[in-house]
Each structure stands twice: as C-alpha cells, then as structure tokens.
C-alpha cells in the first residue's frame, strides 16, 4: 500500500488525509467526494520554485489549471507565488474571480475565440501564448481596437515525441498545436509578430507531452529550440527573452510508474539551457515551466460508497460504487490505472480480487480491473488515489448525475470549496419547450 502526502492510517484503522478522517469526510460531505491534500500541493509548488531559486535562474512556474481549476485552487496557487496557465475564457474568469494577479496569467489554447482574446486583452493578462496564424491576425485587430500592447509567446512544435500515451502527445510534427519548427511556419510567425504594432514578442514555448518519467525529451526539445534561435540570432537579430518548456512531469499512479523528483526535471532543464546559452553567447533566457498534474494529481483522492456487487462464476467479481465515468473519465478514455483501498478498514487483509464498476449506464464504465481489496460490503468507503488531475475538470452530467463536492484538507481541518450539485442544478438552465398542437 502506497500512501501519498499526509495520508496515513489512524488509530481507528481509517484512512486519514491532512489530519482528517476520511470516514468523517464522507459522513459530513457525502460521496462521491473529491478530497485534496493541500499540504502536498504546497510541497510540490515549493519544490519547483526553490530549485530555480537555488540555481539563481530567473523563472516562472505556472500552474496548468486545466488539471483542476476552482477559485480555491487559484487562491492556493497565488499564495505559493506561482503563475497561472489558463486555456479558456472560463479558466480565465475563474482566475479573475479568485483575484489572481493578472500579470502572472498566461493564456493558452489552439482556438481562442475573439471574445476570449478580447477578455484577455482588456484584463491585461501577463501574456498570450499564440498558437496559429489566425490568432496572430485576430490579436492584431483586437490590440489595435483597444489600443493595447500584448506580450506574446509563440507555441512551437519541435518534433519531439514524449514516451507517453498516444492521446496526449503534443510535441510531434503532426499536432493540432503550434507553429512547426521545420517547415518555415515558426519563421513566418516571428516575422508577423515582430512587424505588428500591438504585439510584443517575449519568446517561445513548447510542450512535448504528459506523464513523462525521463528528462531526455526536455533536453532534445531545448537543443532543437536553440538551434532555431541560432538561425534567428544570425539572420534577424532575434533572441527570445523567455523560453517556456511546458510541463508533462509524471506522477505515480501505480507501482508501474517510476517518477523522478521534480527538482531533477528542473535541474536538467536549467543545465541544458545554460549550456546552450553559453554556446550561443547570449544571456540565459527566463525559463518558464507549466506543471499541472505533477502539482495536484497525487494530492487528490476520490471517496466512493460501495453498493451492489455481481459474481460471475469463474470469470469476475464486480463491486459497484456510487460514482464512475461521470466523475473520472480517464479509465474509459485512455485506460488509466489507479490504486484504491477500503478507507474504513485499512488494516484488514486484502483477500479478494475484484473489479470496480461505476454506476453509469455504460458497459465501459469501469474504474479499476482486478484489484486486491478486503471483501467490500455495502456502505464501505472506497478511496481511489491520485485523482486530483482531470477528475473534477473532466467531470460530466452523463446519466444526469450531479457533480461531486470538493473538499480541501490541511492541518486537521476540512473546508468545502465546491458544493455538491443538486438535481435542481441539473435543470436550472433548461428551458421548457412550448408545445403547439396543430389542429
């Protein structure tokens, strides 16, 4: 059994997170319930920041809020002195609602609408990461309309493939994101932005993938970007002030995963950027990174109540819980694997092989296959670990199921930060159809 962060087994034999008994959490806030270990989030944030500070390198660590975006999360990010990466008008609105400093907001996305870009420009966000030629033209119009000067980074695809799941590769040449480094698109984008009155070119950005357990990809990406920077320096005298190498740092979901310390990623990146800068004879650019999953992934645990079971002789034992693909789509979407425990009986022997079924009316709604657990009874509490990234963010109303509540736990206290939805919430935006009967 691997316990993350502040998780431990208390005297009652229950799982405890942040000094709070999960049985009490389930009793007070209901299930399904997303529980976040705030101390672990803070520890990870400080690990990234302190490594840059230790090496005396100018940097920004921007939390990729697509992993988990709420006002409370934005507040914690601000308290820890991080920047914030948003990818939609909704994430930007959440950041603003949480009073996040606008100058530390970076706006990403491959198809930002005019309304979203206008919102970003009017609010004077710190920078927009430009993804395509359509966006350059749109931003030029908007900055002229509002008489603003907008700092931008250009997102580039360096042709580096991270060793990860095909669904979340983003750095290779065949990608929906960014300007290609090889075919002249990046050169044309630099030219257009430099010639624009309303855009200020701060630097360049790339992101090579997600759930990465080695540093080779980051080294290769840095080398490719500096090779292009050498061309720009010689040909057009352009040297980026900012080099954003994205995120994708892996976490441990199961014993198959072997992540490295966050400091190791950062130190390798710093070392390679310093080396390449020295060879190019330029000042070290400000380094930006964008951890998302690695800040919140293993800080999140989802609590479920166990309900029915089904025995298929000589095949499988199904145990059903009161959530499923509506609150965690990742197992159905790309076969993500997790670990779990019976939170109210942590000291019991794991003597039964079961598969955890969700309650959605969908054969593919299976959260876990063939896991060893103590024999589960109705109303036992299942805790699924490492659900902090992309659980709440990708939750849906499939089968008209309300979205779960979110609780932050820290120093023995629990605070509700997102209310559980009600059935009334499900229909509040519905409008009745006025039926007309033809005679």
291 labeled binding residue: yes
Catalytic one of 127, 206, 361, 386: 361
- Report d(CA 4, CA 251) in Å as an integer: 11
- Cβ atoms within 10 Å of 115's Cβ, excluding its own: 9
103 labeled binding residue: no
Q: Whose CA is closest to 236, among 183, 188, 285? A: 188
| Residue 242: partners with Cβ closer than 8 Å, 6 or more residues away | 153, 202, 203, 204, 285, 286, 287, 288
330 labeled binding residue: yes
- Report d(CA 91, CA 106) in Å as an integer: 11
- Report d(CA 18, CA 412) in Å as an integer: 6
404 labeled binding residue: no
63 labeled binding residue: no
Active site residue 206: no
Q: What is the dihedral of CA 96, 99, 100, 101, to 10 degrees?
A: 100
16 labeled binding residue: no
Q: Whose CA is closest to 150, among 85, 96, 198, 202? A: 198
Assess contact for 329 and 366: CB atoms under 8 A.
no
Rounded to the nearest 5°, which phi and psi values hold at 392?
A: -60, -40
Question: Over the Cα atoms of the chain, what is R_g?
Answer: 24
User: How far does the chain reach from its first CA to its final CA, in angstroms?
Assistant: 69
- Report d(CA 439, CA 339) in Å as an integer: 61
198 labeled binding residue: no
Which residues are tagged catalytic?
361
What residues are designated binding site? 248, 290-293, 330, 334, 362, 390
Instruction: Mark the binding-site residues for substrate, compressed into ranges.
Output: 293, 330, 334, 362, 390
Detail the residues annotated as belonging to a binding site for pyridoxal 5'-phosphate.
Answer: 248, 290-293, 390
């Amino acid at each position: 059994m691997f316990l993350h962060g502040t998780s431990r087994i208390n005297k009652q034999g229950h799982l405890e997170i942040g000094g709070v008994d999960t049985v009490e959490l389930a009793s007070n806030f209901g299930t399904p319930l997303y529980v976040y270990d705030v101390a672990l989030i803070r520890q990870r944030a400080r690990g990234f920041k302190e490594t840059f500070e230790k090496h005396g390198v100018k940097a920004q660590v921007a939390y990729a809020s697509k992993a988990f975006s709420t006002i409370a999360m934005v507040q914690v990010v601000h308290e820890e002195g991080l920047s914030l990466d948003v990818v939609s008008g909704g994430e930007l609105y959440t950041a603003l609602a949480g009073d996040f400093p606008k100058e530390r907001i970076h706006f990403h996305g491959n198809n930002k609408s005019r309304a979203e870009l206008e919102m970003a420009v009017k609010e004077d966000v710190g920078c927009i990461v430009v993804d395509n030629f359509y966006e350059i033209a749109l931003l030029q119009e908007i900055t002229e309309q509002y008489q603003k000067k907008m700092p931008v980074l250009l997102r580039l695809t360096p042709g580096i493939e991270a060793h990860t799941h095909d669904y979340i590769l983003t750095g290779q040449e065949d990608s929906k994101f960014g300007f290609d480094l090889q075919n002249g698109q990046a050169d044309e984008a630099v030219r257009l932005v430099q010639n624009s009155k309303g855009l200020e070119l701060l630097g360049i950005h790339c992101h090579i993938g997600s759930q990465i357990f080695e540093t080779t990809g980051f080294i290769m990406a840095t080398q490719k970007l500096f090779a292009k920077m050498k061309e720009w320096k010689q040909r057009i005298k352009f040297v980026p002030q900012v080099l954003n190498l994205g995120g994708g740092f892996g976490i441990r979901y199961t014993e198959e995963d072997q992540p490295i310390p966050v400091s190791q990623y950062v130190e390798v990146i710093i070392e390679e950027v310093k080396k390449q800068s020295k060879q190019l004879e330029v000042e070290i650019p400000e380094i930006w990174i964008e951890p998302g999953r690695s800040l919140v992934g293993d800080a999140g645990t989802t609590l479920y109540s166990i309900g029915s079971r089904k025995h298929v002789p000589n095949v499988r034992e199904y145990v059903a819980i009161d959530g499923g693909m509506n609150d965690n789509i990742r197992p159905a979407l790309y076969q993500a694997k997790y670990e779990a425990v019976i939170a109210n009986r942590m000291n019991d022997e794991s003597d039964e092989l079961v598969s955890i079924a969700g309650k959605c009316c969908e054969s593919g709604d299976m959260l876990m296959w063939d896991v060893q657990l103590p024999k589960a009874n109705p109303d036992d509490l299942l805790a699924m670990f490492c659900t902090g990234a992309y659980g709440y963010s990708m939750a849906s109303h499939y089968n008209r199921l309300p979205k779960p509540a979110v609780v932050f736990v820290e120093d023995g206290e629990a605070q509700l930060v997102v209310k559980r939805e009600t059935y009334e919430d499900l229909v509040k935006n519905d409008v009745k159809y006025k039926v007309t009967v033809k005679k």
